[in-house]
Homo-oligomer: A and B are copies of this chain.
Amino acid sequence: MGFPERKQKILKLLDQHDNREVQEIADTLGISAITIRRDLQQLAEEGLLVRTHGGAMKAPALHPFTAFTDKATVGQERKQHIGKLAAAQVKPGDTIFLDCGSTVFAMCQHLRKTGPLRVITNSLPIVAAFMDCDQITVNLIGGEIDKERKAMHGQRALQHIDSYRGAKAFIGTDGLSLKNGLTAFSEKEASISKAMAAQADTVYLLCDSGKIGKDSYLKYAPFTIFDHLITDRQLPASTAAQLKAKGVSVMS
């Protein structure tokens, strides 16, 4: 049994159980422990798992925007819920902007059955999600590719967005608080979200409850940029009340 086969089996083991000891893996696969240790080191260097004393544990979710394909990510259920709610706001025939956040991405599977749509986005995963969907026309924002976020950014992308007009925009954020408004981790991404919001009649902010009350380091927009906040049921009632008092329309 070669390394790749072991690699697959080890990752599969860690997918089932969250963590395994070296000896357990060695026994399961019938391979010496020293070899397993070497495998684990290699896999840890690739970031596919986290090495611990005596074993290994499943890799944590990566940067918030690279984990699109990870099904078992924490918070995925919240995102699915938000995605479903947001998708319900879209009517057949709409032209909508979608930014490149993972929460917005969760809308895609629910939008597939909505009917004919025009989607304008800078996100490659979103393009991929609609690639086999005849009813949905996709306009992709051009520009320099940010490989980590799998999206287009930059001046050219902003200009491109400004040349479109749409009924609704669905944008994400890294942080949302009464004091600082919308905050983000990435300036590039924030500027794209802002540009989309400016070209849409109605703006929906998708933000799971875990991000509400938290701030990221870059303040990029006030509350007034969006019309409706879509979040999940884990949002504390007190927080919801505070938001509503500030004039925010909250859906959950």
Contact = CB atoms under 8 A, between A and B. Distances in A.
A127 B122 CA distance: 13
A132 B57 CA distance: 25
Contacts of A142: 139-143, 152, 156-157, 160
A128 B147 CA distance: 10
A150 B124 CA distance: 12
Task: Report how many copies the assembly holds.
Answer: 2
Given A141-B142, A143-B140, A54 B160 contact: no
At the interface, is chain A mostly helix, strand, loop or mixed? mixed
Interface extent on A, as a size class? 35 or more
A50 B4 contact: yes
A131 B156 contact: no
Contact of A63 (B128, B141, B147): B128
A77 interface: no
Interface string A1-24: 011110010000000001101000
Contact of A144 (B3, B131, B139, B145): B139
A5 B57 contact: yes
30 contacts: A2-B19, A2-B52, A2-B53, A2-B54, A2-B55, A3-B52, A4-B57, A5-B18, A5-B57, A8-B18, A64-B131, A65-B127, A65-B128, A124-B127, A131-B147, A131-B150, A132-B147, A137-B144, A137-B145, A138-B144, A138-B145, A138-B147, A139-B142, A140-B143, A140-B144, A140-B152, A142-B142, A142-B156, A142-B157, A160-B160
